[in-house]
Amino acid sequence: MKVRRLNHDDYDAVVLLATELDAEERYMRFFTLHPAYIGEWALSLTAPAKGVVALGAFEDGDLIGVANYSELSRSGYAEIAVVVAHEQHHRGVGTALLRTLAEIAKDSGQHRFVADVLFENYAMRRVLSDAGWPISQHRDGSVLSLEVDLDTLTDNTPS
């Protein structure tokens, strides 16, 4: 598996990744069963604005997962999101993407990752847990607000 920044040539692969998700995966990632903005989302990852970093995991030339962060107006905070192809779950793809994203974020002056995750999104919660990161969380109804303190991450974080 190779992890690298996404670019404009990856647009179609990002769209394909999103459209091949099953209904539950689409709902967990996009908070809706039928996101109408997949093209805009793919463009935001493959031609990112300032303050956005988007990575893709590739295997044999195929895109098997993406992760990104977007800097927030609160200095040192970045919102993260991850999606992994259905047949690639439980292989460490999301964890590898997040670890690489964290390295880039720390080098860019970010101190905290935040994410809003549906409470029933056990896959994303597991990815964060598998990364070995200390996570604080706050539940508001069906949504968990998660926060990772990047300053506590060291080279000794489990891999």
| pLDDT at 30 (0 to 100) | 73
100: pLDDT strictly greater than 60: yes
Beta-bridge partners for 43: none
Average confidence (pLDDT) over 108-123 = 89
Q: Among 34, 114, 100, which residue's Cα sits nearest to residue 65?
A: 100
pLDDT, tens only, 9-25: 999 999 999 999 888 88
| pLDDT at 31 (0 to 100) | 67
114: pLDDT strictly greater than 50: yes
| pLDDT at 54 (0 to 100) | 98
Tell me which of 23 and 2 has the higher pLDDT. Answer: 2
pLDDT, tens only, 39-85: 899 999 999 899 999 999 999 999 999 999 999 999 999 999 999 99
The pTM for the full model equals: 0.87
| β-pair type (112-118, 135-140) | unpaired
Average confidence (pLDDT) over 99-124 = 91
Q: Own/partner pairs for 68-74, CB < 8 Å, 24+ apart?
A: 68/44, 68/101, 69/101, 69/105, 69/110, 69/113, 71/110, 72/114
Average pLDDT, the chain: 88
